[in-house]
Amino acid sequence: MLYISTRGDQTPKHFCDILLEGLAPDGGLYLPAHYPQVDDATLSRWRSVYRDQGYADLAFEVLSLYIDDIPAADLKALCHKTYTVAVFGTPEIVPLRPLEDGIWLEALSNGPTLAFKDMAMQLLGNLFEYELARRGEVLNILGATSGDTGSAAEYAMRGKKGVRVFMTSPQGRMSPFQQAQMFSLMDDNIFNIAVDGVFDDCQDMVKAVSNDLDFKRKYRIGTVNSINWARLLAQVVYYFAGYFQATQNNSQKVSFTVPSGNFGNVCAGHVARMMGLPIARLVVATNENDVLDEFFKTGVYRVRASADTHETSSPSMDISKASNFERFVFDLLGRDGARIKSLFGDALGRVGFFDLEAHPAFALAARRYGFDSGKSTHADRLATIKDIWARHSMMIDTHTADGVKVARDHVQAGVPMIVLETALPIKFAETIVEATGREPDRPARFIGIEALPKRVVPMPADVQAIKTFIVGQCA
Ligand SMILES: *Cc1c(COP(=O)(O)O)cnc(C)c1O
């Protein structure tokens, strides 16, 4: 399988070339040159693989269609090392449970940091270690986080040979639980940096360092953000696993509702659908930051100024633009790289929006690609969390609640609707208490983490300061 850029660069690359790279050199995102097709016989075989051998073997089947530069035995071993009961808590890895009237919850958040980002990041950690060892290289991962991404990255990379993580976060802005999760890590290769500023200051520092190409090359700076194709690919697997659990045979269809921010998770659903997984609808659920809902309703993609981004109680969906959205629009517009370059590279930068309403492809977003969308607010989250608790004695987190709210508006008779559970409620306890008057359950391994010693470096929002720090650690 070869990979191409969404902005027209056709230089063919293999999986491991793009694994350690972020954006393509032309500023685009990588996608496979085509989507491998999964026919009925293969789908049936994969159904048995998941049932009889488990998630790791299913992951190997999916991944091997996209990765031809890692020997099969090694790839299989990496999948087995990643998707274990010890790390993800159950033999199913992503167990499905019924919620109500045709709605199911697919649990993606039983990994080390209790959010679905572990599903991809744990694999990425193992792939990085493998590929860096094979090349005899090292990588310094620099990132900015407001919570879930940073902790998932640190838990995936801790103790990995050849990798250091420098993770910036806005001082005092993460929940106490999230701070404890990250700052209690004592691994030598993990560096938490609390920046005197807001999330955008962190992101600006990371961008400034990455844009200094000499520094980037000399100190081998890399990223693990959600535009990394390997992360997206890992996420494709659980759409298949969800489908197999909700259906008995391949003539059945299912729909998914996906709590969305950067469009990474639901884009993996799009890829699964393009491969032939029988998905009826992919419903994009947003919070008050409704850039994506607006697009699917109107055809207008209008990025927000970061000052206009709402701080909500589902903070991992608080985005001003959806960094993976370019991938879907590339497919929507017939993979026209020049057009994507003019929309994303030019129009967005110049006027901050583009409008596809009049474009014939826009109607296809719903018809051919099965997309739909909805929005949920703080009041909706509280009402949904409270209602699910009262009726089913089940607690769901705030992001999942956005999904359930929107899913309820989109259920179709006879089509199972699977809501992706993207985090556990304990990560956002304050809102859960506001909704239900009760503290959510805490997995045993997290009892008392707020009291653990913390290891974090305070830093001003200053590019030179972080460069100096990185240089010091690489000496
Ligand atoms: C990251 C995240 C999301 C958003 O996922 P995208 O792939 O950015 O659309 C939703 N919920 C939780 C809990 C997250 O951590």
Note if 117 is an active site residue: yes
Q: Is residue 286 part of a domain?
A: yes
The CA-atom distances, in angstroms, between 60 and each of 116, 221, 467 are 19, 29, 39
| Residue of 262, 267, 319, 396 with the most ligand 1 atoms within 8 Å of its CB, for mutation | 262
Which residues does a 6 A CB cutoff place in the pocket of ligand 1?
115, 117, 148, 226, 259-265, 316-317, 399, 422-423
Q: What is the pLDDT of residue 87?
A: 96
Q: Is residue 204 part of a domain?
A: no
pLDDT of 371 above 90: yes
Q: How confident is residue 435, by pLDDT bands cut at 50, 70 and 90?
A: very high
Residues 6+ apart with CB under 8 A from 246: 96, 104, 252, 254, 416, 418
Q: What whole-number percentage of the chain has pLDDT above 90? A: 83
Q: Is residue 26 part of a domain?
A: no
Q: Is residue 240 part of a domain?
A: yes
Q: What would the mean pLDDT of 144-154 be, rounded to a whole number?
A: 89
Contact 53, 80 (CB under 8 A): no
Q: What is the pLDDT of residue 132?
A: 96
Q: The tokens of 393 are what?
A: 């004695």
Q: What is the pLDDT of residue 364?
A: 78
Residues 6+ apart with CB under 8 A from 442: 426
Task: Report DSSP letters for 409-453, one per residue.
Answer: TT-BTTB-EEEEE-B-GGGGHHHHHHHHSSPPP--GGGTTGGGS-
Report how far ligand 1's centroid is from the alpha carbon of 266 (Å). 10
Sign of CA dihedral 265, 270, 276, 282: positive
User: How many other C-beta atoms can be found within 10 angstroms of the C-beta atom of residue 208?
Assistant: 15
Q: What is the pLDDT of residue 167?
A: 96
Instruction: Determine the structural domain holding residue 280 and report its residue range.
Output: 96-113+233-436
Q: Model-level pTM?
A: 0.96
Q: What would the mean pLDDT of 35-43 be, rounded to a whole number?
A: 98
Report how far ligand 1's centroid is from the alpha carbon of 328 (Å). 17
Q: Is residue 333 part of a domain?
A: yes
The CATH number of whichever domain residue 284 belongs to comes to: 3.40.50.1100
| 186 residue type, one letter | M
Nearest to 222 by CA among 88, 318, 129, 320: 129
The structural domain count of the chain equals 1
Q: How confident is residue 111, by pLDDT bands cut at 50, 70 and 90?
A: very high
Q: Is residue 10 part of a domain?
A: no
pLDDT tens figures, 227-263: 899 999 999 999 999 999 999 999 999 999 999 999 9
Q: Is residue 381 part of a domain?
A: yes
Q: What is the pLDDT of residue 239?
A: 98
Q: Is residue 159 part of a domain?
A: no
Q: How confident is residue 349, by pLDDT bands cut at 50, 70 and 90?
A: confident
Q: What is the pLDDT of residue 25?
A: 86
pLDDT of 362 above 90: no
